């Protein structure tokens, strides 16, 4: 029998063709794939902003422009300080790293141990110089990629519904609930990465700058900026910055400065943003455990580069959601009759395994 134009078989074939062409397109656009993925994830988060603007009476095109402007300003606010610091103040950062003592004595139980930092110091300086040179040479490319990001963001927000309907069309109706659940988990995870982490980072910057300035550091803004960036590193976060600074003061014999920056830095810069900001915004997040977020963050960063900071936790969260759906599906197949203990000849039911184990424990 000839398949009609609306047959499921035809939709599945077209879905396969789209998937193959998508892989081919991804291979061709490999150099800008990170920019495309970043635009996709940001657009996914900004869809509610566009919908909110439409509900306030703006047209679809105007609302899309407004949401795109929010994404543009947010991306500029996040990346501009990083680029400017690495481009204009990298010499000061290198001087700070080179100022760390080559040997740090540590006394434990009246025994003094010497920690040599020469190799780590040389690696850090080499890395910073390479980053500065690479950034200077790739500024035109970065500008083009940023323009591509803005154009893609507008296009995805303006025609996102049509793209979503096209993506879900080949999926049979009985499986669309699974797609919907995975999409909700993806949205919650991206909200947690972009909104929660960005809010805590901004809070760390606003707290860290006056704190470092009051403690007498010349590069107060740069240190606060690094602390804000490290907020995206789960679990350990700004402690990666505060701890070496405190150890530097210990090595220099300035224990008061070490105590001040250690206690105030960990408390106000590292912990306070999580305590003050995160609970107020976490109700829409995915609630991904910190350990799994850390695995996704590190794996994505080492495998995919900078975009892996977002893609890694996102993939882990979707995988966890798929495992939970599978567990619900399997457990849902077990009826209550199968879980009930068997019936005895006198009409009573045999004790369950839990009751038997409790009885044996009491004995």
pLDDT computed for residue 362 by the predictor: 44
Q: What does each C-alpha distance from 204 to 24, 171, 197, 199 come to in angstroms?
A: 42, 44, 10, 9
pLDDT computed for residue 69 by the predictor: 92
pLDDT-derived band at 102, boundaries 50, 70, 90: low
Helix/strand/coil for 31: helix
Convert the pLDDT of each residue in 47-71 to its tens digit.
888 888 888 888 888 888 998 998 8
Residue spans of the domains in the chain: they are 31-170, 172-329
Cβ atoms of 89 and 102 closer than 8 Å: no
Judging by beta carbons within 10 Å of its beta carbon (0-12, 13-18, 19+), is residue 107 exposed, middle or buried?
exposed
Most confident range, picked from 4-18, 73-87, 143-157, 185-199:
143-157
For residue 104, the cross-strand partners are 115
Q: Are strands 111-116 and 103-108 parallel, antiparallel or unpaired?
A: antiparallel
Cβ atoms of 170 and 11 closer than 8 Å: yes
Convert the pLDDT of each residue in 289-333 to its tens digit.
767 777 888 888 888 777 788 888 888 888 888 888 888 777 765
pLDDT computed for residue 85 by the predictor: 73
Q: Biggest alpha carbon distance in the chain?
A: 89
Convert the pLDDT of each residue in 253-275 to its tens digit.
778 888 888 888 888 888 888 77
| Res 43 pLDDT > 70 | yes
- End-to-end Cα, the chain, rounded Å: 71
């Amino acid at each position: 029998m000839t398949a009609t134009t609306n047959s499921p078989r035809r939709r599945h074939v077209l879905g396969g063709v789209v998937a193959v062409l998508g892989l081919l397109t991804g291979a061709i656009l490999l150099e800008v794939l990170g920019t495309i993925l970043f635009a996709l994830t940001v657009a996914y988060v900004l869809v509610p902003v566009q919908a909110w603007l439409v509900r306030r009476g703006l047209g679809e095109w105007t609302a899309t422009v407004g949401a795109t402007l929010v994404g543009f300003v947010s991306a500029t606010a996040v990346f501009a300080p990083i680029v400017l610091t690495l481009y204009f103040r990298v010499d000061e950062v290198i001087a700070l790293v080179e100022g760390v003592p080559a040997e740090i004595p540590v006394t434990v139980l009246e025994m003094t141990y010497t920690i040599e930092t020469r190799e780590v110091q040389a690696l850090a300086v080499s890395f910073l110089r390479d980053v500065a040179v690479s950034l200077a040479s790739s500024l035109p490319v970065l500008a083009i990629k940023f323009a591509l990001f803005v154009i893609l963001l507008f296009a995805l927000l303006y025609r996102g519904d049509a793209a979503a309907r096209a993506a879900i069309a080949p999926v049979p109706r009985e499986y669309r609930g699974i797609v919907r659940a995975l999409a909700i988990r993806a949205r919650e995870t991206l909200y947690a990465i972009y909104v929660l982490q960005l809010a805590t980072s901004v809070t760390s910057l606003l707290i860290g700058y006056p704190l470092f300035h009051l403690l007498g550091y010349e590069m107060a803004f740069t240190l606060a900026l690094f602390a804000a960036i490290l907020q995206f590193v789960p679990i350990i976060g700004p402690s990666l910055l505060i701890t070496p600074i405190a150890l530097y003061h210990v090595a220099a014999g300035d224990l008061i400065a070490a105590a001040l920056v250690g206690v105030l830095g960990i408390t106000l810069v590292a912990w306070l943003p999580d305590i003050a900001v995160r609970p107020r915004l976490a109700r829409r997040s995915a609630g991904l455990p910190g350990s799994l977020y850390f695995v996704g963050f590190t794996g994505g960063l080492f495998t995919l580069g900078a975009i892996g900071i977002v893609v890694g936790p996102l993939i882990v969260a979707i995988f966890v959601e798929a495992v939970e759906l599978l567990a619900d599906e399997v457990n849902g197949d077990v009826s209550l009759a199968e879980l009930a203990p068997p019936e005895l000849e006198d009409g009573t039911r045999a004790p369950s395994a839990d009751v038997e184990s409790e009885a044996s424990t009491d004995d």
